[in-house]
Chain A
């Protein structure tokens, strides 16, 4: 892997608070990499460490294979798009975009072309002489992008850049940013607390929990194979089960859940006999049949519909499987040709799932 940014055991401590704890990451050149987590999890601090606004308490930060841990922000080949854009209010759009070029001592005759190109890239032609306060949020956002991208950084850091925009504009900008990134091929490190945004845009995602890297992987890996309860819970919706392994053979784990369900899952390489185990199942992975159903899936349990939310394109059911286990199930609204039964509150049903759809979590 052609590594663009690497964190080696980076820790950042503010007085008594450990904002980032022993974080190690490798980000490939040209990758759209997201740092995802709830507010206060240390994702912004991680970004600020890469930018050079904070110095790590321990560990090393490498950009383009060079240790930059003790370099000032202006000595690093990275640029940042700030959450509030941080446009210079006393400078025009062009003044803002030119700021970095002037610091780099780019020749005057080259500046004009570069600026035109940058304005073109973010579709801001004709706005050149406006001041930031005369622009809409989306336009300010674009100026911030142009200002950073014109310097052709090794890495572009984006700190929740779409947070201040309304939903519709945000969706548009998500696509635009992704397209832009693919076009220019610069590594993006993108901080967000919005899991949907991260899934939409990223090549890879790092989920951060209380300063610790919980899991890094492609959106699919993160969604389909969350390693911890936190990741399973933070990304999408999950149903959690706990139980005890009563028997383990080469291929199967036989589990007695806390609610008394006898479940069979795929065995992993660990010996779990007689140990407690936690697993999760995504709400769309269940099959629900009426009481009269005749399927023969191995994990099949009777239950009743506690609640139903009709969303048009899908229906969400809350189904009680035992007095301790209540699950959420999403069923798609399908073509009439493959119509499935629609249930009402109180209906008795059978719920089943395949063993490979259950994910065993690290405790």
Chain B
């Protein structure tokens, strides 16, 4: 397809763009296998940093926190987000346009603003900062993403399926669980995986709402970086990158396969 003239430099720009995006990550991953303590000079290949990582109790504790937060936030936000999206789809009311519009406000609001507002909110309701506050915050920012994905799936759903179900004797609840949910399932799974990833990777909002002993993995990396970048951080980051990419790929596949 690529011929000449304008298109040739265009391919270079495309390549450059990708290089710009992925080179730093590749370098990061490469240096996680470097023997040298100092990240910028290559000595020889090793996996010692990964082994050390697995024996660091603080890192493991942070990992546990991150997993707990991400799993709970994923479950809650998927349920709430799916039901909210379904409610908006199913019922027609006057303020619907407004609700549709403000749904995406949280997505474009700077995370730092969300973080500050949540911390003020928690102080107001006397909720001590810790895992609980992190989970609530994560559920809050996950919901719009879940809704976005489930809504797209809903819009592609044939409405007469629900009518057919009721026609065949199923009441509203049975229809929802036997017909609607199976139709939405690819969307729901994709939304859950995205929510998990967003929650697992989040730094800014978590930074504000975390308390003592509730350090998550991104927060732990940040505190480690402040003491100097070691290949151990490279290793940890590489693992997170790999983990996130895997989840997102699965989410994408699930959503695509059943269009």
Closest to A89 in B: B183
Distance from A187 Cβ to chain B, minimum over Cβ atoms (Å): 16
Which A41-67 residues have a C-beta within 8 angstroms of B?
A: 51-53
Instruction: Say yes or no: is A86 at the interface (Cβ < 8 Å to chain B).
Output: yes
Distance from B183 Cβ to chain A, minimum over Cβ atoms (Å): 7
Instruction: Say yes or no: is A290 at the interface (Cβ < 8 Å to chain B).
Output: no
Quick check: B169 and A86 within 8 Å, CB to CB? no
Quick check: B182 and A90 within 8 Å, CB to CB? yes
Which A72-103 residues have a C-beta within 8 angstroms of B?
A: 72-74, 78-80, 82-84, 86-90, 99-100, 103
Quick check: B169 and A103 within 8 Å, CB to CB? yes
Given contacts A72-B166, A74-B167, A88-B164, contact A103 B174 (CB under 8 A): yes
Instruction: Say yes or no: is A204 at the interface (Cβ < 8 Å to chain B).
Output: no
Instruction: Say yes or no: is A193 at the interface (Cβ < 8 Å to chain B).
Output: no
Within 8 Å CB of B174, what residues of A? Answer: 103
Quick check: A86 and B171 within 8 Å, CB to CB? no
For the complex, what is the distance from the CA of A147 to the CA of B183, rounded to whole Å? 19
Instruction: Say yes or no: is A294 at the interface (Cβ < 8 Å to chain B).
Output: no
Within 8 Å CB of B25, what residues of A? Answer: none
Quick check: B160 and A82 within 8 Å, CB to CB? yes
Instruction: Say yes or no: is A104 at the interface (Cβ < 8 Å to chain B).
Output: yes
Instruction: Say yes or no: is B23 at the interface (Cβ < 8 Å to chain A).
Output: no
How would residues 326 to 351 of chain A score, 1 for a CB under 8 Å from any chain B CB and 0 otherwise?
Answer: 00000000000000000000000000
Quick check: B167 and A51 within 8 Å, CB to CB? yes
Instruction: Say yes or no: is B161 at the interface (Cβ < 8 Å to chain A).
Output: yes
Quick check: A73 and B163 within 8 Å, CB to CB? yes
How would residues 142 to 167 of chain B score, 1 for a CB under 8 Å from any chain A CB and 0 otherwise?
Answer: 00000000000000001011011111
Interface size class on chain A is 20 to 34
Which B157-207 residues have a C-beta within 8 angstroms of A?
A: 158, 160-161, 163-171, 174, 178-179, 182-183, 185
Quick check: A79 and B168 within 8 Å, CB to CB? yes
Instruction: Say yes or no: is A151 at the interface (Cβ < 8 Å to chain B).
Output: yes
Which A112-158 residues have a C-beta within 8 angstroms of B?
A: 147-148, 151
Q: Which of A86, A147, A148 contacts B161 (CB 8 A)?
A: A86
Within 8 Å CB of B179, what residues of A? Answer: 88
Distance from A48 Cβ to chain B, minimum over Cβ atoms (Å): 8
Closest to B174 in A: A103
Within 8 Å CB of B170, what residues of A? Answer: 74, 99, 103
Within 8 Å CB of B163, what residues of A? Answer: 51, 53, 73, 80, 82, 86
Quick check: B160 and A100 within 8 Å, CB to CB? no
Given contacts A82-B163, A84-B160, contact A90 B183 (CB under 8 A): yes
For the complex, what is the distance from the CA of A103 to the CA of B168, rounded to whole Å? 7
Distance from B172 Cβ to chain A, minimum over Cβ atoms (Å): 8
Q: Which of A83, A87, A88, A100 contacts B169 (CB 8 A)?
A: A100
For the complex, what is the distance from the CA of A73 to the CA of B158, rounded to whole Å? 18
Distance from B171 Cβ to chain A, minimum over Cβ atoms (Å): 6
Closest to B179 in A: A88
Quick check: A99 and B183 within 8 Å, CB to CB? no
For the complex, what is the distance from the CA of A82 to the CA of B168, rounded to whole Å? 12
Q: Which of A79, A87, A90, A104 contacts B167 (CB 8 A)?
A: A79
Which A170-192 residues have a C-beta within 8 angstroms of B?
A: none
For the complex, what is the distance from the CA of A79 to the CA of B164, rounded to whole Å? 9
**Contacts A74-B171, A84-B160 known; 12 new A-B pairs at CB < 8 A:** A53-B166, A74-B167, A74-B169, A82-B163, A82-B164, A86-B160, A90-B185, A99-B168, A99-B170, A99-B178, A147-B168, A151-B168
Using a CB–CB cutoff of 8 Å, the interface residues on chain A facing chain B are: 51-53, 72-74, 78-80, 82-84, 86-90, 99-100, 103-104, 147-148, 151
